[in-house]
Amino acid sequence: MARSSYYYYIKRSKFPDKYMAVKAAITGLCARHQGRYGYRRILYALRKQGYAINHKTVLSLMNLLGLKSIIRVKKYRSYKGEQGKIAPNIIERNFKADHPLQKWATDVTEFSVSGKKLYLSPIIDLFNGEIISYSLSERPNFEQITEMLKKGLAKVKKHTRLDYIQTRAGNTR
């Protein structure tokens, strides 16, 4: 050990810890609030008690004491109630088709590529699982869907016309 370091620690041990009272206040606040307060809220509570202290000091003292706030992850809730019209259930979970281009299915799928979100929207023919068309976009919006449908309809027009879907009432759509 270097001579200067030895005398530094000897001199330092003679003086009491200047943050002893603040450390006690921090542990008391954390215990009272059951670990729900982070360093910012602890800082404001300490200032209410009359301590003039910096936020960086509070953060370093909390790290020194091993105190961390409990971070509750907020759940994603996309449900916003009933929005718009509900389409009639024409397919009724019959996902098989008798011939090509009779039934199509589509969905928008989100996936991450090198830290960036991309959205894929394919059209699948339910006869043989063939992908009729697809579109890839950085945002899931209506333009992506219309682009995918235009590609699919342009491909179909070259070969044949689409069949009409019969509903239960017998109306063609």
Whether residues 98 and 61 fall in one domain = no
pLDDT digits (tens, 9 = 90+) for 121-137: 999 999 999 999 999 99
Do 106 and 149 sit in the same domain of this protein? yes
For 89-103, what is each residue's pLDDT tens digit? 888 888 888 888 888
> Is the confidence at residue 64, as pLDDT, over 50?
yes
Split into its structural domains, the chain has a count of 2
Give a yes or no: residue 3 inside a domain: no
Residue 106's CB is within 10 A of a number of other CB atoms, namely 15
- Tell whether 51 and 129 lie within a shared domain: no
Residues 56 and 124 in one domain: no
Average pLDDT over residues 25-41: 93
- Domain ranges, residue 173: 90-173
Mean pLDDT of 115-120: 91
Whether residues 168 and 99 share a domain: the answer is yes
DSSP 59-104: HHHHHHHT--PPPPPPPP----S--SPPPP-SSTT----SSTTS-E
The domain spanning residue 148 has which CATH number?
3.30.160
On whether both 29 and 106 belong to a single domain, the answer is no
| Residues 162 and 107 grouped into a single domain | yes
141 in Cβ contact with 116 (< 8 Å) = no
The pLDDT value given to residue 157 = 67
Q: Residue 111: inside a domain, yes or no?
A: yes
Judge if 173 and 94 occupy the same domain.
Answer: yes
Q: Residue 14: what pLDDT?
A: 79
Q: What is the pLDDT of residue 100?
A: 84
Q: In this model, does residue 162 exceed pLDDT 90?
A: no
Q: Could you give the CA distance from residue 143 to residue 133 in angstroms, rounded to a whole number?
A: 15
How many CA atoms within 13 Å lie on the side-chain side of 156? 21
106 and 157 assigned to the same domain: yes
